[in-house]
């Protein structure tokens, strides 16, 4: 294992953070945090850290010893990070995964800001008349992201969640963790589950670039139901395009990524950043060659 490149000396007052993933080249997090550092004129850095799963723990200890302020954790490390934290936020415990680490006095604190990002994205981009408590939600998928979405929806006052997954057993397992408000359903019941729904959320990879499109008949979905997709490549997924064509309000997935970054940035660099059109444009700008 190699130490972080150009590690800051212990006691260096300039904060450093980064995103740990394998691979990491696709991550937009360095663009997000780099934009905020520049906007606020802050001394600090945020680095892409490519770390294989086999050396994740010693690498994390190395960051801690080298004076890093913390890190974001992406695939495939979110579950591993959970077991390495000295302290966990309540939402990290509830979701069962960590995506944000804060280092302080040799202590690793773990948080999960995915649900926060999901709700903040809806609060910023959904129509002002839409309210979570106005009806049931339909959630497609039962993976790691789905756990954060379920927790966020319930906390926001959604009365019930119809959880649809190709593997029913996995949906049942997730539903058991959150109680009677979550109803597990087989994928064959997806179209019927849309009847009376207030929001439809896709947390699967269907519709992602390089993946098959999400093939779902939206006929039963009420015209006022909100449709959102956590996928942001492409920005307008086939699901969002189909929902928009029939008049449903839609929210793309990029905002979830942007908003989930806010708590970490504030913890590491001491400034509460904002998500706005300028940030979105900077994150989506074509990459330039060095």
Residues with active-site annotation: 78
CA dihedral 207, 160, 117, 18 (to 10 degrees): -80
Q: Angle at CA 164, nearest 5°, toward 160 and 166?
A: 165
Q: State the Cα–Cα distance between residues 71 and 21, nearest whole angstrom.
A: 10
Place of tokens 């490149």: 5
For residue 36, count other CB atoms closer than 10 A to its CB.
24
Q: State the Cα–Cα distance between residues 239 and 202, nearest whole angstrom.
A: 8
Task: Number of helices (H) and strands (E) in the chain: give both, helices first.
Answer: 12, 12
Q: Are the CB atoms for 87 and 109 separated by under 8 Å? A: yes
């Amino acid at each position: 294992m190699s130490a972080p490149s150009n590690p800051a000396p212990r006691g260096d007052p300039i904060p450093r953070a980064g995103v740990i993933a394998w691979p990491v080249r696709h991550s937009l997090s360095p663009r997000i945090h780099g934009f905020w550092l520049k906007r606020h004129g802050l001394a600090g850095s945020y680095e892409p850290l490519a770390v294989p799963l086999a050396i994740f723990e010693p690498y994390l200890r190395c960051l801690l010893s080298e004076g890093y302020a913390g890190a974001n954790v992406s695939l495939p490390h979110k579950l591993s990070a959970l077991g390495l934290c000295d302290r966990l936020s309540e939402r990290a415990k509830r979701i069962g995964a960590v995506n944000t680490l804060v280092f302080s006095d040799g202590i690793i604190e773990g948080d999960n800001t995915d649900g926060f990002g999901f709700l903040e994205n809806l609060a910023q981009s959904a129509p002002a008349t839409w309210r979570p408590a106005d009806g049931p939600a339909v959630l497609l998928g039962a993976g790691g992201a789905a756990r954060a979405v379920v927790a966020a929806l319930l906390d926001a006052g959604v009365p019930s969640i119809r959880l649809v997954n190709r593997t029913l057993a996995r949906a049942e397992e997730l539903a058991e963790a959150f109680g009677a408000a979550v109803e597990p359903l087989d994928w064959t019941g997806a179209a019927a589950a849309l009847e009376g729904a207030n929001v439809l959320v896709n947390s699967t990879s269907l519709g992602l670039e390089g993946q098959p499109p999400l093939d779902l008949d939206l006929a039963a979905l009420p015209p006022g139901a909100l449709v959102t997709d956590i996928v942001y490549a492409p920005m307008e997924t086939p699901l969002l395009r189909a929902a928009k064509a029939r008049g449903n309000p839609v929210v793309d997935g990029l905002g979830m990524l942007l908003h989930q970054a806010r708590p970490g940035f504030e913890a590491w660099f001491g400034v509460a950043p904002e998500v706005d059109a300028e940030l979105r444009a900077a994150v989506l700008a074509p990459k330039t060659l060095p």
